[in-house]
């Protein structure tokens, strides 16, 4: 029987998150009131990860919009929800980040089954695996059973960093950066030509790096799927590499719910067990909502880099 802890300050005592503890316990209203949506979309399950609260990169406004439009029976927080690494370096916690926490806690109180699987950026919460606080279950990993009877292993994904042995930052190189490098390459070449210097392709080097990123993502997906397969489950849900994906790898269903820094995506399970990736930037554009934050370019698609 897991221990129930009602106050997060009891959990965070002695951690570098002392200041945040008060925010968790705040019973007051959120800075931004909940959007009064008549009928929220309801799914069986929602997975989000890599929110990186406590950093400037976090698109908290879009996540707030998502949380105000979508409900589910179960919600998994698949790690890197709070960026403890960055907070340790510099305390950054705008009201919108508090509003995200408020909404997640509220969800638990309203009866959504909440499971929080800390990642590597919020690894300070891993020591509380097995505990429940405020209706949120903290776990190291979980097994989710879908409506159509499949068993999915849910974990953050950094467990495989040592195996993939790649530069993780390469996974964050976007299409826009690539396009910019191509333009920069033309400029560099022109300048070098004028100065009588030999040709040196910046874009070639950039391309190699982006190709590395693509290779890394593929390798990560394959390793995670293989590990899940060897544990006898039909699929795996993870985050970590900020690349939303849904594909079958050697008979194992691989799902990645993406992130709220670059892609702003969530993974959902419909009531019949069908899975879908929601692209919330796209959802907001379709609705005609003003773009609260300029979206960073999405991580390059595998196909776009065949060159
Ligand atoms: Mn991570």
Angle at alpha carbon of residue 149, lines to 145 and 152, rounded to 5°: 40
Q: How far is the CA of 31 from the centre of ligand 1 (A)?
A: 28
Q: CATH for 4-169+206-305?
A: 3.60.21.10
Q: Report CA torsion sign: 221, 222, 225, 231.
A: negative
* 250 neighbors 230 (Cβ within 8 angstroms): no
Q: How far is CA 240 from the centre of its chain?
A: 6
Q: How far is the CA of 181 from the centre of ligand 1 (A)?
A: 26
Q: Report CA torsion sign: 66, 220, 229, 81.
A: negative
The CA distance from 47 to 265, in Å, is 9
* 79 neighbors 49 (Cβ within 8 angstroms): yes
**What residues does each domain of the chain span?**
4-169+206-305
The pLDDT profile of the chain, 307 residues, written as one tens digit per residue, is 444 554 555 555 555 554 555 555 445 678 888 876 567 899 999 999 999 999 988 999 999 999 999 999 999 999 999 998 888 888 888 999 999 999 999 999 999 999 999 999 999 999 999 999 888 999 999 999 999 999 999 999 998 876 665 444 444 554 455 556 666 767 777 787 777 776 666 666 666 666 677 777 888 899 999 999 999 999 999 999 889 999 999 999 999 999 999 889 999 999 999 999 999 999 988 888 765 444 444 434 333 333 2
Q: Which two tokens stand for residue 247?
A: 């594909």
What pTM, to 2 d.p., does this model score? 0.78
Dump pLDDT digits (tens) for 270-292: 999 999 999 999 998 888 876 54
Q: How many CA atoms lie within 13 A of 28 on its CB side?
A: 9
Q: How far is the CA of 305 from the centre of ligand 1 (A)?
A: 24
Q: How far is the CA of 165 from the centre of ligand 1 (A)?
A: 14
Would you mind telling me the total number of residues written for the chain in this entry? 307
H and E: helices and strands count for the chain: 9, 13
Dump pLDDT digits (tens) for 139-170: 999 999 999 999 999 999 998 876 665 444 44
Residues in contact with 228: Cβ distance below 8 Å, sequence separation at least 6, in sequence order: 153, 235, 236, 252, 254
């Amino acid at each position: 029987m897991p221990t129930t802890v009602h106050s997060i300050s009891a959990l965070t005592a002695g951690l570098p998150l002392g200041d945040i503890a008060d925010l968790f316990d705040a019973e007051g209203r959120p800075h931004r009131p909940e959007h009064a949506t008549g009928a929220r979309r309801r799914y069986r399950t929602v997975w989000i990860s890599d929110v990186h609260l406590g950093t400037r990169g976090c698109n908290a406004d879009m996540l707030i919009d998502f949380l105000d439009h979508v409900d589910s029976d179960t919600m998994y927080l698949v790690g890197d929800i709070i960026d403890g690494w960055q907070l340790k370096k510099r305390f950054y916690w705008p009201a919108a980040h508090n509003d995200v926490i408020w909404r997640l806690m509220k969800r638990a109180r309203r009866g959504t089954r909440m499971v929080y699987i800390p990642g590597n950026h919020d690894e300070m919460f891993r020591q509380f695996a097995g505990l429940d606080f405020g209706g949120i279950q903290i776990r190291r990993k979980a097994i989710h059973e879908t409506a159509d009877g499949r068993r999915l292993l849910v974990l953050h994904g950094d467990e495989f960093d040592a195996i993939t042995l790649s530069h993780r930052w390469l996974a964050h190189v976007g299409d826009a950066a690539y396009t910019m490098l191509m333009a920069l390459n033309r400029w560099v070449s022109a300048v070098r030509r004028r100065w009588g210097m030999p040709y040196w392709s910046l874009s070639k080097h950039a391309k190699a790096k982006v190709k590395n990123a693509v290779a890394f993502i593929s390798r990560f997906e394959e390793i995670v799927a293989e590990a899940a397969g060897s544990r006898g489950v039909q699929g795996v849900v993870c985050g970590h590499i900020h690349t939303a994906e849904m594909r079958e790898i050697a008979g194992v269903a691989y799902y990645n719910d993406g992130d709220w820094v670059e892609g702003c995506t969530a993974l959902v399970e419909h009531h019949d067990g069908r899975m879908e990736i929601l692209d919330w930037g796209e959802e907001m554009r379709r609705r005609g909502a003003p773009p609260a934050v300029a979206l960073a370019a999405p991580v390059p698609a595998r196909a776009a880099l065949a060159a």
